[in-house]
Amino acid sequence: MIFILQDKVFGEETDRLIAALEDNGVEYHIGIPNSVYAGGYYFVRGSIEFYKEFDSSFGEYCDPESLCLGNYVFSKYSKHFGPRLLNDDYVILPWWKLYFSDSYLFPESESLFIRPNSGEKIFTGTTLTKKWWKQELDIIKNLPSTYGLTDETLVVVSTVKEIIAEYRIFMKRDKLIDFSIYEGDEISMGDAAALRFWADSLDFYPDRYYTVDIAKTPKSYKLIEINSGISAGWYDMDYNKIVEEIKSE
């Protein structure tokens, strides 16, 4: 198998991944190659746009790592989690309607959380204050990292929740490969047990490899979102463990 890596996307994570690939004797290529081996197995690691570029060029000749973008639509996978979902009180509106909705959306809240309904990272989920609602929407729309945003883009809106810590789990279908904290204190034994319980209880597998983001709240552990294992950060996970698992395909 061969890893296809996008350069200058994951920073130090890429260095750690390359080290793990070399430790495991796995071939890798940085950037879109000029050719591929027909019928070969390739794991693409980069942005969704990078994956699409590789797949459009070589998808019919090889087995690139699957990416089922439709399975990462928030309104599609959220139905599988019910009250275990952090933002289970969400509503969905087109982008244009947000500009006229701050006065009646969750009127008791002074700030709200928004994120795209799409599985693509059109913009990063964030919290907006109602005081500067329209101005902050304009800021998101004009960020260099925002792409493909139109008036018709569907957006998830929810109340802001209290979060103590956030964790990311790397999954292979129904198997937990590793996990990492990306906001909060160190992972305790109780946290680790809760994350493994979450992995064991999953009954929706969007892809061969995917990530699950879990929030620790004052009362329980809740699902924040699910993302592709191809394009999501792996943070402080064990890269050798991940490479060994992918290599075993």
Instruction: Transcribe 121-184 into DSSP letters.
Output: -SS--EEEESTTHHHHHHHHHT-TT--S--TT-EEEEEE----SEEEEEEEETTEEEEEEEEES
What's the CA gap between 135 and 116, in Å, rounded? 18
Number of other CB atoms surrounding residue 108 within 10 Å: 5
Q: In what order do the strands lie in the sheet with 111-116?
A: 91-94, 154-159, 111-116, 126-129
Closest CA to 176 of 150, 196, 155: 196
Segment holding 18, helix H or strand E? helix 12-23
**What's the pLDDT at 249?**
79
Residue bearing tokens 């992995």: 199
Show pLDDT as tens, one digit a residue, over the chain (249 residues). Answer: 999 999 999 999 999 999 999 999 999 999 999 999 999 999 999 999 999 999 999 999 998 877 898 999 999 999 999 999 999 999 999 999 999 998 899 999 999 999 999 988 899 999 999 999 999 999 999 999 898 899 999 999 999 999 999 999 999 999 999 999 989 988 999 999 999 999 999 999 999 999 999 999 999 999 999 999 999 999 999 999 999 999 987
**What's the pLDDT at 185?**
85
Cβ atoms of 25 and 62 within 8 Å: the answer is no
Q: In what order do the strands lie in the sheet with 41-45?
A: 27-30, 2-5, 41-45, 63-64
**What's the pLDDT at 112?**
97
Closest CA to 170 of 227, 88, 124, 102: 227
Tokens of 134: 């329209």
Closest CA to 126 of 103, 107, 143: 143
Cβ atoms of 206 and 186 within 8 Å: the answer is no
**What's the pLDDT at 210?**
97
Name beta bridge partners: 216.
Answer: 165, 221
Residue 119: C-alpha distances to residues 73, 144, 156, 192, 228 (Å)? 5, 19, 12, 27, 9
Tokens of 237: 């996970």
- Indicate the length of the chain as a whole number: 249
